[in-house]
Amino acid sequence: MKTENNLAGSFRDFGLCDEILKGVEEAGFRAPSPIQQQAIPVIMEGRDVMARAQTGTGKTAAFGLPAMNAIVRTNGLKVLIITPTRELASQVSEELYRLGRFAGIKTVAVYGGQSINRQADMINRGAQVITATPGRLLDHLRSGRLKRFSPRIVVLDEGDEMLDMGFINDIESIFEYLPKERQTLLFSATIPGAIKSLARRILVNPVSIDVTPVEVTPSGIKQLYYVIQEREREEALVRLIDTESPQRALIFCRTKRETDRLSTTLISRGYSAKALHGDMTQVHRNEAIDAFRKGRVDLLIATDVAARGLDITDVSHVFNYHVPFDPDSYVHRIGRTGRAGKKGKAITLVTPLELKELRRIMKVSGEPLSYREIPSIREARKRYLSGIIKKLEDQPVREEAAEVLEELSETMEIHQIATKVLSMLLDRQKVSGPKRLGLNSQEVEQMLYMLKKQKTARSKRPSHQYGGRRRGYRR
Ligand code: ADP
Ligand code: MG
């Protein structure tokens, strides 16, 4: 996560109480991130806020610190945080526990699949920070289990995600149960129209805060795209995985089915991969995330929705198996790599048909992407070999190896042993696939040239010549 060390500000300057500052210190935060810098003072003034900031920019502490500060040592004032998924609810709840524990703040995560009575008990008995998913929260509110539930501060986290997941009606109903006298904070990665109109209904005279994606896209990310034919997509991905040897990669797909299909294929081809999507059970999703986080799995194949907001750091590569839906989604996805000053790569596969869409994304987001040719099989083998050589050089020597070698050399020549061991290594994952994949640079240049020409031709002619929809121009 990127923080501005040169900013004069530090967490001390906000006027947070010492116990909360201790939590911040123990969490290892040194300087506030841009969104924290902007949001914390305004929230501490008691204003409503509508904030836009990308995933991984530190939104949880941005609302959590001032919100907890407002209820410390009060007689049971509460903060309610609404998040779209269970994962996010438990993630946010954990982070706030970590930051607020020295101030003695009790937190609880409230979502489906757990005892509803126990949850209600915890809330009634004095949990002060309640992080909930919309459905379960609404169940609680409707059932009347909550006694004098009147949160002082209400946070809507990942607003656009709520919208995408169809929770807007639930949110509207929830607000009917909440006190009019409250401070309301809305956080979202993007602010589409429906979120704006929701904001008009639930926020009073809000301060708008905008940490634009361009500012926060880490500069260490190399952004590349490859033009391929539709039927080459899978082989192209495999080839790129072979040549990039990513330490830990997120691969984005458009649908749940596609994530399943792709992970099955990759696993059958010998890669260590797992799928992550909304139809999996909670247990399976947690397993996948955990395996990826702990490095037991190298490739996590996910949909936007499933991966959103999850705090997975240290991703070396982000692959877009298709062009993302829109510029925000692109910026969002690639922000998963290149965190904390590390280098990262964002790789997008596009067909000639998708190229126009990608150019629009480049234009709107202002992100610098350049194209490359997919390495040929020869090139791929070469790179794979140099990877193995590097690994050999770095390989620590085990004592047993010397003993085994001594034994083996009774029956074989050293040279023979070495070639056999190398073959074993090479067999483990062979670089395979077609000789050539994708469009070469001449072909891509040609396509880009045509796209530019179409555009200038269009803007030169008077617009009335285009009465109807032109083939292929609009979606
Ligand atoms: P968002 O909600 O914007 O996606 P999070 O609040 O989940 O982001 O924060 C992402 C990660 O950054 C978390 O691991 C969090 O602990 C860490 N983080 C937040 N603020 C800071 C900070 N000021 N300095 C260092 N790390 C931070
Ligand atoms: Mg968040």
Per the CB < 8 A criterion, the answer to whether 234 and 438 are in contact is no
Q: Report pLDDT for 155.
A: 98
Q: Which two structure tokens, joined as six digits, stand for 32?
A: 């506030």
Q: Examine the domain organization and report whether 119 and 71 are in the same domain.
A: yes
Instruction: Read off the pLDDT of residues 248-306 as tens digits, 9 standing for 90 and up.
Output: 899 999 998 999 999 999 999 888 899 998 888 888 888 888 899 888 889 999 998 78
Counting from 1 in the atom list of ligand 1, the atom nearest the Cα of 311 is: 7
Going from the C-alpha of 314 to that of each of 263, 317, 341, 440, the distances in angstroms are 21, 9, 10, 32
Residue with tokens 């795209």: 225
Among 7, 21, 311, which residue has the most ligand 1 atoms within 8 Å of its CB, making it the best to mutate?
A: 311
Q: Which ligand is nearest to the CA of 84?
A: 2
Cα-to-centroid distance, 266 and ligand 2 (Å):
30
Does residue 339 belong to any structural domain of this protein? yes
Residue with tokens 């997975």: 312
Q: Examine the domain organization and report whether 365 and 244 are in the same domain.
A: yes
Q: Report pLDDT for 252.
A: 95
Name the residue with higher pLDDT: 366 or 122: 122
Q: Which ligand is nearest to the CA of 216?
A: 1
Domain boundary residue among 180, 210, 240?
Answer: 210
Residue 257: CB atoms within 10 A of its CB come to 12
Instruction: Read off the pLDDT of residues 55-70 as tens digits, 9 standing for 90 and up.
Output: 778 999 999 999 999 9
Ligand 1 pocket, Cβ-based, cut-off 6 angstroms: 1, 3, 29, 32-33, 36, 53, 55-61, 95, 309, 311
d(CA 233, CA 227): 10
Does residue 469 belong to any structural domain of this protein? no
Cα-to-centroid distance, 211 and ligand 1 (Å):
14
Q: Report pLDDT for 463.
A: 42
Whose C-alpha lies nearest to ligand 1, atom 19?
Answer: 58
CATH of the domain at 160: 3.40.50.300
Residue 376: CB atoms within 10 A of its CB come to 17
Does residue 367 belong to any structural domain of this protein? yes
Q: Examine the domain organization and report whether 191 and 282 are in the same domain.
A: no
Q: Which ligand is nearest to the CA of 160?
A: 2
Per the CB < 8 A criterion, the answer to whether 168 and 158 are in contact is no
Q: Examine the domain organization and report whether 195 and 238 are in the same domain.
A: no
Give the ranges where 45-158 is alpha helix by DSSP (H): 59-71, 86-100, 116-124, 134-143
Q: Examine the domain organization and report whether 255 and 197 are in the same domain.
A: no
Q: Residue 429 — pLDDT band, cuts 50, 70, 90?
A: low
Counting from 1 in the atom list of ligand 1, the atom nearest the Cα of 55 is: 4
Does residue 425 belong to any structural domain of this protein? no
Cα-to-centroid distance, 91 and ligand 1 (Å):
11
Does residue 388 belong to any structural domain of this protein? no
Instruction: Read off the pLDDT of residues 349-368 as tens digits, 9 standing for 90 and up.
Output: 999 999 999 998 888 877 88
Whose C-alpha lies nearest to ligand 1, atom 9?
Answer: 58
Q: Examine the domain organization and report whether 174 and 252 are in the same domain.
A: no
Q: Which domain holds residue 363?
A: 221-378+432-440
Does residue 389 belong to any structural domain of this protein? no
d(CA 61, CA 67): 9
Domain boundary residue among 183, 210, 237?
Answer: 210
Helix 352-365 with 327-334: angle, nearest 10 deg: 80
Q: Examine the domain organization and report whether 103 and 246 are in the same domain.
A: no
Q: Examine the domain organization and report whether 118 and 21 are in the same domain.
A: yes
Query: What proportion of the chain, given as a percentage, has pLDDT over 90?
Result: 51
Q: How many domains does the chain have?
A: 2
Nearest alpha-carbon partner for 101 in 37, 30, 25: 25
Question: Which residues share a beta bridge with 153?
Answer: 79, 183
